[in-house]
Structure 1
């Protein structure tokens, strides 16, 4: 052993010792078949799923309102050779994503079956519980790099708290996930018990784009095209940031960490500037806020990088990063979706070694207590 320690490192060993490993905050696993959930799902709900399927708050039955531009919103090369849909084969995920891109930890973000958007809240809670258990059994227990999130359907607060308590006892989940397209803005007090429990448990609150709360995704109605609907995800996140901050969630829960996932970050600086400007004019309307809105954002909110805004000039992306703050950014790939960001090429502007280390690793390490 002393001989190994005393000799000079080979070039390969030196590279391995100094390489930057990636913490990917947005990996989407998929269910291979509904029968995979049977061991976690009571017989009643197995039959319900088989007979009736889901009942979403959308204008169409059994599908999303807008067709995606690639099958299942995924890369064409992400279909496993063994069958199944993209994201459903762990061995293929290792080969295509985790191993070649040197992912140290990957945070699972499950979108299957739209548990946040089920009209039948009891069915939604049953699916939510099954998927939470499935994340551990099929993914986290089979590859320790993958970390599960507690899916909590926020529109039935009592059921959500019960599920959070059940999962938190295992100590195997690293955040609590709610949907931004909820029945009401997330700053409303009806959701505060979830935030209170997240703070007590020391678990970040993850808010991943998507969901169907029964409302049109824009302020003026339903878009005509998928590209419009996709664009509206950022608008939804901006609205929820304003709701959470202005209704006083970070003031009431000062130790709560909130992570916005897959909403990009190009809009954040202007959102902070606008909130601060309005706060100066309307301070008397919101006496519960003790500080400027941007101060809460810069202390309690983080934003994953995907989809990275790509202005024509690299210096403009550089300015965006500086305005938001490099400490606020967490890398995410969105694997295996069509707008996936490869960590090797994601930023088209030079980053210092310190900045790259923060965005790709240490910021997430601190937020999630890895």
Structure 2
């Protein structure tokens, strides 16, 4: 297999280096081998996300995170045997080995099964004013701002189309006619696009109440229309489907460095002193998977923010999960973000 060498890694490699290997190969997996090419383990996107959730350092060794007892198949096994094992174990890749457990190839589920179009709907939020990007947004809605010669919203749609999704809703408010005119009904991408219009801003969750409820039967995507990311949306869908929960919120690690010494105290007495500490948080990345019951719960015309809806679900003992995003991600909220997008887009997207 021509891509095999590109996914073989040493157990001593760092997670940061392993992410580069996984991203470059496009196979979503790395095979951990020793010098004789014996399979020691596997490392997937999911393994790395779980490590991030444990706040493991990106300089940690692959051996700390890898799956040490991966599923493998003999290279002599039939296609039917390999497919049956992958489907029963719900895995996307399986290393092919010889009798001595040395790697000789890899089989992917996508190679074995024809890609199918997915029925999950995608709601893209494109109604904001984009005030922090004025004067660029004075006469243009932010999702239509051009990055690398293409509107942000088109880049988002094309990423979803590539992933196999064909049912779209676009929420509009500010300069809605410009969005409709530019994006159209989706025929040029062979997809279906419907619009829901907010006469007045309804908050980040209010557009859910405008959706045709009878058309939301599967978990749906919801994403801000001003984000650039090369996240694999099928990974997010697989994660959501494999974890019980009414919603999955994509999160991004955020680092905050305090430029001063921080002092904790007990009354007048200093209990600790830390010089210029760094704190790590998970922030909302503006990409969601929602079970149908969430849009079903929002009345038409209700003004509500999505975090409020999710808090209500959690108060009702419903699970809301988070999905760490380590891929390229940029929230184009301010002028410096827009300028950064212009510099970086050609290296990340096909524009």
Shorter-chain TM range is: under 0.3
> Bigger radius of gyration, 1 or 2?
2
Q: Higher strand share goes to which structure? A: 2
Q: Higher helix share goes to which structure? A: 1
TM-score (ref. length: structure 2): 0.28
- Using CA pairs under 8 Å that are at least 6 residues apart, name the structure with larger relative contact order, 1 or 2: 1
TM-score (ref. length: structure 1): 0.27
